[in-house]
Structure 1
Amino acid sequence: MGRNTRKRRTPLAAKVVAGAAALAVGGGGLVWANFHASAHEEGPAHHRTRSAAAQVATIDCPDVGQQLSGVPDRARGEVDGELATMDSQITEAYQRLATTRRAQAGDPQFVQNTILGPLKDRRKAIIDRIQLEIDRAGGRADDNLDQLAGCQGRPAEQPQNGDGQNGDGQNGDGQDGGQNQDDNGNGAAGPVADDFIDINDVEPNSRDSENGLAANGDGGSTGTFTTDCGVNENNLFNSDNLIAAPGVDNGAHHVHDYVGNQDNDAFSSDEDLANADTSCRNQGDRSTYYWPVLRLQDGTEEFDANELGGGAEGNVGRILKPAQAELKFVGNQQGDVVAMPKFLRIITGDAKSFTNGDANANSSWSCTGFEDRQVTDKYPLCPEGSQVVRTSNFQSCWDGQNIDSANHRDHMAFVQEDGGCPNGFQAIPQLQVRLVYDIPTPTVENGQVRNPYAVDSFPEQLHKPITDHNDFINVMDEDLMNEVVDCINSGEDCQ
């Protein structure tokens, strides 16, 4: 498979992470020390597992970006760049955590003194710069942001047996690259058995309309508009995030699938997007639709096996493109919708939900034939003949003024319980993305999962299903957007 090869600059932050990753790369893959087995643990496996439960598995840092509001427009670029550097710092610290298990076993203060303490100092320096940039641009920075500098270590939710693997990437048989048959090739970075659930064990109709997961359009405006943009037949992949980290190479730290606009990377301007080719059948739709790839952790070395965003950051295995990618816009229960402004940016879900909590989580997993059963925090195990389904229903209330906001959320809102928009917001067409995948059902036995699939994630998010998310930039021309609105408001089904 290929990737977007547009020449890009490499920011200093990316070079720092690259250096950290280079220390961890060996034998064609990342040397991820096992999170859950100490080099000095002896005795039966269950004793190893029990003592390992308290060991730090990942790093939990407050999300500074989510707390920002009122950032002046002329400070946005600098602030987004600083936030991306902060993400790179977390990645570097996480890699340090994952490759120092022997030292951690010998010193209970090692993580705090050599990883979390220095990380806090570096984050504090960035927060100070963010505050200065906001103030210089005429804004008023929150004086309490300093309280978000400190991070914590989070223990493993579900320890996995190390099977003799120790913290320096070796076992009793010699060096094994930090991997064994039970870690799916990523050093037990996830997913684990507890991240999966048999779809038959999910209660039907157990999900409500929280965060827009129930379809709009049952009342006021009942039409639909479907746009066909394919399934990434052009193999357009990269680990950028044009919305959250514009101008930053590898700003996502995980790989995205792209359909629609074909000029998608961190350095694409609005003009680039407007003039780009599109994979959409209707050439008036140059919108960009993107989401983190799914991978089957079956030992396959992908094109990015040694690259940042890919194997060098724990995203390993065969990339799975959807068999179907359904992109549909629907209406609002309470009334008509208005046109989206061009270049409106929307992120739904939260790539950091594992550490941030589920306030912005908006993932929905299911299986074909069982879509009355939806789950947010588990990957479904589908029966034979059934396919995995990912669904994202976007925020559909717009503040009427801004195409983006400092935290990339405040300019948008979900509908309220009655289906209407909050005061000051107006209804726009709601984007619903349904992705269907042909995936061999993983085997879960004795607390171990073999050949699992997982969503690409920031390294410290451990490939948890709750971190699934979806991104959209509206680049429809005016005529097409008016057609979308007319179809929805008149109750027609168009495409």
Structure 2
Amino acid sequence: MGRNTRKRRTPLAAKVVAGAAALAVGGGGLVWANFHASAHEEGPAHHRTRSAAAQVATIDCPDVGQQLSGVPDRARGEVDGELATMDSQITEAYQRLATTRRAQAGDPRFVQNTILGPLKDRRKAIIDRIQLEIDRAGGRADDNLDQLAGCQGRPAEQPQNGDGQNGDGQDGGGQDDGQNQDGGQNQDDNGNGAAGPVADDFIDINDVEPNSRDSENGLAANGDGGSTGTFTTDCGVNENNLFNSDNLIAAPGVDNGAHHVHDYVGNQDNDAFSSDEDLANADTSCRNQGDRSTYYWPVLRLQDGTEEFDANELGGGAEGNVGRILKPAQAELKFVGNQQGDVVAMPKFLRIITGDAKSFTNGDANANSSWSCTGFEDRQVTDKYPLCPEGSQVVRTSNFQSCWDGQNIDSANHRDHMAFVQEDGGCPNGFQAIPQLQVRLVYDIPTPTVENGQVRNPYAVDSFPEQLHKPITDHNDFINVMDEDLMNEVVDCINSGEDCQ
């Protein structure tokens, strides 16, 4: 399977992580440098996962980027680069956590003294640089950002409260039972160890209550009133095999800024170094050539032992994203209206991120995951992967923020310029209703088998290494690159109550 092969620069931070995350890949599973051994079992053709919640720890760091506001435009690039370096530091610390189990077993302060303490110092240095860059550009940096430097380690099963208060916490899970030491065997992993998923990450769709998800955070904005039309754009399912682990919105100019791989449909010039001009002049996979918008989401993988094209690369197998990449059988991209009134045109190059790739450690404040099965879409689950019955397909749904501040195509934390509708379906004061993007992805996936705390042939969303492939980390990204005529057509269709494509 191919990938985006556009030549690009490799920043120093990426090279550092590449060296620090030197990992061994064998049998289709990631071996985090002796943190665990492969638990692939010979015999029946199954890739087996055992629930490893009690043994697995992860790194929990406050998300500095989400706390930023008022960053001057001319400081944005430098600040985004510094935040990407922070992500790389967390990846390196997580890898260190996963490869020092013997030392952790012998010293209860090992994680704090050798991993979390130095990580705090490095994060503090970056926060200082961020504050300086903001001040130099004429802004005023938040003096309290220093409080976000400290991280903590915690067991994977520990509930995440998202309060961001952690300071110098103990490792909270660095110990193991002595069976998972350096060079030792751990029979409680799936050949992907700490990266997951585990049995507790799955649920039978029949066990999900119908209509249990409320109307907040991105469910359909339009109703019987207001603007009731729709516009559907057909951009395929990534037949061109455009993959990379960049994130043009959150980490522009940074190679491997996402630390996980994305599917791309629509715009075909889409990597960390693409300018707005590049996007405007690019080819598109959309049937309507006036739509050069960028639509992208983290890939799903089936952990069946397949070594993909990126098995040894950052963003792929070298960062815990292993197995066969699954393209959607369907990718439905639809724009809908607003319950309270008409919508206005989106500005060109508007950027929207929905969901939170770090919601396992950040908490669910910005989470917007929604999983289901065909034939059961009145049952939506946010923090589990669904187990679908025979003949049913897995469904991922992302309904984007649809209220725009009327001024900015982006913001310092990539969120403040957008908002979800309020309970009455209207936009907050100062925001205007724009067409709401709804993305529905349907996958043919063999249903994993969960028995006795074990899951065979699990599937999972690509994620940052420390997020452990939790389903709540699912997210979706969009950059509007429709030409003016097409955007006006979208608005007219929605406001007039028509269904167009």
Both structures adopt the same fold (TM-score exceeding 0.5): yes
Which structure 2 residue ranges, 5 or more long, are not aligned? 179-184
Q: Judge conservation of contact 1:37–1:161 (CA < 8 Å) in 2.
A: no
Distance 2:395 2:49 in 1: 33
- Counterpart among 163, 183, 194 of residue 188 in structure 1: 194
In the other structure, the counterpart of 2:96 is 96
Q: Judge conservation of contact 2:243–2:262 (CA < 8 Å) in 1.
A: yes
Distance 1:350 1:250 in 2: 17
Q: Judge conservation of contact 1:160–1:188 (CA < 8 Å) in 2.
A: no
Q: Deviations over 1:240-285 (max 9, x none)?
A: 0000000000000000000000000000000000000000000000
Relative to 1, partners in 2 of residues 1:372 and 1:180: Cα closer, same or farther, differing over 3 Å? Answer: same
Q: Judge conservation of contact 1:339–1:482 (CA < 8 Å) in 2.
A: yes
Q: Deviations over 1:134-184 (max 9, x none)?
A: 000000000000000000001131899999999999999999999877633
Distance 1:290 1:315 in 2: 17
Local SS of the residue matching 1:173: coil
Stretch deviating more after TM superposition (186-195 or 292-301): 186-195
Alignment of 1:260-271 (within 5 A): 260-271=266-277
For residue 22 of structure 1, report the CA deviation from its aligned partner: 1.8
Q: Judge conservation of contact 1:31–1:99 (CA < 8 Å) in 2.
A: no
Relative to 1, partners in 2 of residues 1:113 and 1:71: Cα closer, same or farther, differing over 3 Å? Answer: same
Local SS of the residue matching 1:449: strand
Distance 1:487 1:171 in 2: 55
For residue 38 of structure 1, report the CA deviation from its aligned partner: 15
For residue 208 of structure 1, report the CA deviation from its aligned partner: 1.1
Q: Deviations over 1:322-349 (max 9, x none)?
A: 0000000000000000000000000000
Stretch deviating more after TM superposition (399-408 or 212-221): 212-221
Relative to 1, partners in 2 of residues 1:175 and 1:26: Cα closer, same or farther, differing over 3 Å? Answer: farther
In the other structure, the counterpart of 1:387 is 393
- Counterpart among 462, 468, 478 of residue 472 in structure 1: 478
Q: Judge conservation of contact 1:349–1:468 (CA < 8 Å) in 2.
A: yes
Distance 2:469 2:173 in 1: 29
For residue 41 of structure 1, report the CA deviation from its aligned partner: 22
Q: Deviations over 1:305-360 (max 9, x none)?
A: 00000000000000000000000000000000000000000000000000000000
TM-score (norm. length: structure 1): 0.91
Distance 2:138 2:166 in 1: 53
Distance 2:50 2:303 in 1: 26
Distance 1:266 1:378 in 2: 30
Q: Deviations over 1:280-311 (max 9, x none)?
A: 00000000000000000000000000000000
Relative to 1, partners in 2 of residues 1:492 and 1:124: Cα closer, same or farther, differing over 3 Å? Answer: same
User: Could you tell me the percent identity over the aligned residues?
Assistant: 99
For residue 214 of structure 1, report the CA deviation from its aligned partner: 3.3
Which structure 1 residue ranges, 5 or more long, are not aligned? none
Q: Judge conservation of contact 2:39–2:189 (CA < 8 Å) in 1.
A: no
Q: Judge conservation of contact 2:50–2:454 (CA < 8 Å) in 1.
A: no
Relative to 1, partners in 2 of residues 1:169 and 1:214: Cα closer, same or farther, differing over 3 Å? Answer: closer
Relative to 1, partners in 2 of residues 1:174 and 1:282: Cα closer, same or farther, differing over 3 Å? Answer: closer
In the other structure, the counterpart of 2:420 is 414
Relative to 1, partners in 2 of residues 1:365 and 1:43: Cα closer, same or farther, differing over 3 Å? Answer: closer
For residue 218 of structure 1, report the CA deviation from its aligned partner: 3.0
Distance 2:170 2:45 in 1: 17
Q: Deviations over 1:30-69 (max 9, x none)?
A: 4226879999999999999999977561000000000000
Q: Judge conservation of contact 1:218–1:332 (CA < 8 Å) in 2.
A: no
Relative to 1, partners in 2 of residues 1:175 and 1:354: Cα closer, same or farther, differing over 3 Å? Answer: closer
Local SS of the residue matching 1:254: coil
Stretch deviating more after TM superposition (135-144 or 216-225): 216-225
Q: Judge conservation of contact 2:151–2:166 (CA < 8 Å) in 1.
A: no
Distance 1:97 1:214 in 2: 41
Stretch deviating more after TM superposition (461-470 or 21-30): 21-30
Q: Judge conservation of contact 1:49–1:160 (CA < 8 Å) in 2.
A: no
Distance 1:165 1:175 in 2: 22
Stretch deviating more after TM superposition (156-165 or 30-39): 156-165
Q: Judge conservation of contact 1:100–1:168 (CA < 8 Å) in 2.
A: no
Local SS of the residue matching 1:334: coil
Distance 1:430 1:379 in 2: 25
Relative to 1, partners in 2 of residues 1:394 and 1:34: Cα closer, same or farther, differing over 3 Å? Answer: farther
Stretch deviating more after TM superposition (34-43 or 21-30): 34-43
Distance 2:341 2:189 in 1: 51
In the other structure, the counterpart of 1:210 is 216
For residue 212 of structure 1, report the CA deviation from its aligned partner: 1.7
Distance 2:341 2:429 in 1: 14
Q: Judge conservation of contact 2:291–2:486 (CA < 8 Å) in 1.
A: yes
In the other structure, the counterpart of 2:442 is 436
Relative to 1, partners in 2 of residues 1:140 and 1:262: Cα closer, same or farther, differing over 3 Å? Answer: same
Relative to 1, partners in 2 of residues 1:220 and 1:38: Cα closer, same or farther, differing over 3 Å? Answer: closer
Distance 1:217 1:163 in 2: 34
Relative to 1, partners in 2 of residues 1:173 and 1:111: Cα closer, same or farther, differing over 3 Å? Answer: closer
Relative to 1, partners in 2 of residues 1:46 and 1:61: Cα closer, same or farther, differing over 3 Å? Answer: farther
Distance 1:440 1:209 in 2: 30
Distance 1:174 1:147 in 2: 23
In the other structure, the counterpart of 1:273 is 279
Q: How many residues align?
A: 495
For residue 460 of structure 1, report the CA deviation from its aligned partner: 0.1
Q: Judge conservation of contact 1:395–1:414 (CA < 8 Å) in 2.
A: yes
Q: Judge conservation of contact 2:61–2:150 (CA < 8 Å) in 1.
A: yes
Distance 2:135 2:165 in 1: 51
Relative to 1, partners in 2 of residues 1:10 and 1:446: Cα closer, same or farther, differing over 3 Å? Answer: same
Q: Judge conservation of contact 2:302–2:457 (CA < 8 Å) in 1.
A: yes
Stretch deviating more after TM superposition (22-31 or 215-224): 22-31
Q: Judge conservation of contact 2:395–2:443 (CA < 8 Å) in 1.
A: yes
